[in-house]
Structure 1
Amino acid sequence: MKIYYFEKVSLFIIGFLTYCVVPAHAQVQKQDSLHQTVSLQHVTDDTHNLRLKEVLIPTAVIGASALFVHNGWLTKQRENVQNVLSAKGKYKFKLDDHSQYAPMVAVYGLNLCGIKGKHGFKDRTIILAMSYATVGILVNTMKFVFKEKRPDSNARNSFPSGHTATAFMGAEFLYKEYKDVSPWIGYTGYAVAATTGYLRIYNNRHYINDVIAGACIGITSVKLTYWLYSKCFKKAKCNKATFASVPYYSSDGWGMNMCIVF
């Protein structure tokens, strides 16, 4: 039964993402017929760029979320939110155990459907493995340090939410790979991740600050991994230069414009 739910969620997401991409491909083909042919050997890959604020802002949010752990007044406010958003353990909706993996699975599913992302199978798999390892190290280290009790049990591993971190890691991974094909692909991944985070609260497994911290950890881990990948693997395709050439003709003569981006 669990496998059935997982396959159902994954197929639905892949189908929806494929639907989003078809109009984009049709539009590109129509525009190409009206423009001059361009010889392009490699498409510029900006997924490995990293700005300081992309790390500082999520880090600050994680720090703010940690203030709700073992803090009298803030802890009380968090529990008030929990009473509103959760089912208090009366009803369980276990989709979050499977939906956390759906965005990352969608990356490979779309490739199987013929919709190519930014990286080939080898590069993207290494990036995903590095991101997953980073999430695992950060989440488990913080769980050990904070020892926050879960809402539904005495287990002291609530902060941050590992399910949410995994889901948003996959969503950011999906966005990075397919944002140039259609931004709606990434948005759909984020929607699935947000749903996963909410279900962790609804099922009374996590508090809202656990979920927010988990989301920031997942997103930041992917951003850092893409940046580190281009530094650690110098021979990867993402480090190759972009070369484009455009022939032209005018009354003064003919020639060729060339552009090389390193």
Structure 2
Amino acid sequence: MRSFLLTRVTALLLLVGASMPTYAQVLPAAPPAADTLHKFENSTLAPTPTKKAWYRGKLVRASIVPALLIGYGISTINGHGLYSSYDARRDLQRAFPTFHTRVDDALIFAPYLELGAVALAGIESRDDRLNTLLIIGKAEAVMLASVYALKYATNIDRPNGKQYAFPSGHTAQAFLAASIVHTEFRDKSQWYGIGAYTIATGVGALRMLNNKHWQSDVFAGAGVGILSAHLAYLSHRNRWGRQPRLPAGMSFSPTYYGGAPGLSFTWRPR
């Protein structure tokens, strides 16, 4: 009887256990292995380099202001355009009928004197002295070639009756030097450039007051001077890190003696 009850209890427990749900431990599935064999097949997923728009290029940005100045100058030649050269000369002659000075002949190099004075004061410029001199030489060559080519190509008479008015070489020279000063020291202070451009603007105004240039000549000359400086900087090889160096013991420095600017060369052999 006892064995019969034990058998029945065992069978009942087995029956209850079979009817209850089974809980088993389920491990999370492993992530699929990265497909490294075909990672370069979908080239559309790779980031493509964005091409800079043409109007954001350095040459375009460097040419905007000069183009506006030259364009306005051309548009006001003789009696053309908004407030023509004839209109400007008429108003100046009324306001300053007997004005005459030669200060403009000396002021064209005044920005270079500012450049030398600031350098001698120990203020560090953007480029070293040798590279600055190379840039100045290149800019001067571009400016002189452009000015004289335009003078002989246009052959416009000056207000005083002489030849080769367009563009103003004095104004081009002054604005070229001012652009050099502005570029070299704008990271230190904007006032260096403001002072240099103020001098250059004064040169252009004096050329008109002296009845030696038209308004169109002055605006175009300013544009040519600024553009020449910008082209010199854009084409200078120092921008790619290849800085020319003088041999040990050699140096250049600006000078001012006898009322004239100059350049001093020093060599100390070792």
Choose the corresponding residue for 2:134, options 120, 126, 135.
Answer: 126
CA distance in 2 between partners of 1:76 and 1:149 (Å): 19
CA distance in 1 between partners of 2:120 and 2:83 (Å): 48
Instruction: Identify if the C-alpha distance between structure 1 residues 138 and 89 changes in structure 2 by more than 3 Å, giving closer, same or farther.
Output: farther
- Do structure 1's residue 113 and structure 2's residue 148 form an aligned pair? no
1:97 partner letter: D
Instruction: Identify if the C-alpha distance between structure 1 residues 234 and 129 changes in structure 2 by more than 3 Å, giving closer, same or farther.
Output: same
- Give the corresponding residue for 1:78: 85
2:192 partner letter: I
TM-superposed deviation, 1:109: 1.8
- Give the corresponding residue for 2:219: 212
Instruction: Identify if the C-alpha distance between structure 1 residues 79 and 125 changes in structure 2 by more than 3 Å, giving closer, same or farther.
Output: same
- Give the corresponding residue for 2:108: 100
2:121 partner letter: C
Q: Which has the higher contact order (CA 8 A, sep 6+)?
A: 1
Instruction: Identify if the C-alpha distance between structure 1 residues 110 and 157 changes in structure 2 by more than 3 Å, giving closer, same or farther.
Output: same
* 4+ runs deviating over 6 angstroms: none
CA distance in 2 between partners of 1:108 and 1:165 (Å): 20
CA distance in 2 between partners of 1:198 and 1:64 (Å): 16
Q: How many residues align?
A: 187
Q: Does the CA-based 8 Å contact 1:88-1:203 persist in structure 2?
A: no
2:84 partner letter: Q
CA distance in 1 between partners of 2:221 and 2:80 (Å): 22
Instruction: Identify if the C-alpha distance between structure 1 residues 66 and 77 changes in structure 2 by more than 3 Å, giving closer, same or farther.
Output: closer
- Do structure 1's residue 188 and structure 2's residue 182 form an aligned pair? no
2:155 partner letter: K
TM-superposed deviation, 1:207: 0.8
CA distance in 2 between partners of 1:61 and 1:168 (Å): 12
Choose the corresponding residue for 1:147, options 133, 136, 155.
Answer: 155
TM-superposed deviation, 1:61: 3.6
TM-score, structure 2 length as denominator? 0.63
Instruction: Identify if the C-alpha distance between structure 1 residues 236 and 94 changes in structure 2 by more than 3 Å, giving closer, same or farther.
Output: same
- Give the corresponding residue for 1:163: 170
- Stretches of structure 1 that go unaligned for 5 or more consecutive residues are 1-48, 238-262
Choose the corresponding residue for 2:74, options 58, 66, 77.
Answer: 66
Q: Does the CA-based 8 Å contact 1:62-1:216 persist in structure 2?
A: yes
Instruction: Identify if the C-alpha distance between structure 1 residues 88 and 148 changes in structure 2 by more than 3 Å, giving closer, same or farther.
Output: farther
Q: Does the CA-based 8 Å contact 1:135-1:165 persist in structure 2?
A: yes
- After superposition, residues 46-57 of structure 1 pair within 5 angstroms as 50-57=58-65
Instruction: Identify if the C-alpha distance between structure 1 residues 189 and 204 changes in structure 2 by more than 3 Å, giving closer, same or farther.
Output: same
Q: Does the CA-based 8 Å contact 1:168-1:215 persist in structure 2?
A: yes
Q: Does the CA-based 8 Å contact 1:88-1:204 persist in structure 2?
A: no
2:116 partner letter: Y
1:208 partner letter: Q
- Stretches of structure 2 that go unaligned for 5 or more consecutive residues are 1-56, 245-270
CA distance in 1 between partners of 2:228 and 2:66 (Å): 10
Q: Does the CA-based 8 Å contact 1:89-1:203 persist in structure 2?
A: no
Higher helix share: 1
CA distance in 2 between partners of 1:68 and 1:88 (Å): 21
- Residue deviations 1:137-189, cap 9 Å, x none? 11000000110100012x22100000000000011100000001111011000
Q: Does the CA-based 8 Å contact 2:72-2:219 persist in structure 1?
A: no
TM-superposed deviation, 1:121: 1.4
SS across alignment from 1:52? helix
1:228 partner letter: S
TM-superposed deviation, 1:195: 0.6
TM-score, structure 1 length as denominator? 0.65
CA distance in 2 between partners of 1:100 and 1:215 (Å): 12
Choose the corresponding residue for 1:225, options 206, 229, 232.
Answer: 232
TM-superposed deviation, 1:106: 1.4
CA distance in 2 between partners of 1:231 and 1:185 (Å): 23
CA distance in 2 between partners of 1:73 and 1:128 (Å): 35
Q: Does the CA-based 8 Å contact 2:169-2:221 persist in structure 1?
A: yes
Q: Percent identity?
A: 28
TM-superposed deviation, 1:233: 7.1
- After superposition, residues 11-30 of structure 1 pair within 5 angstroms as none
TM-superposed deviation, 1:82: 0.8
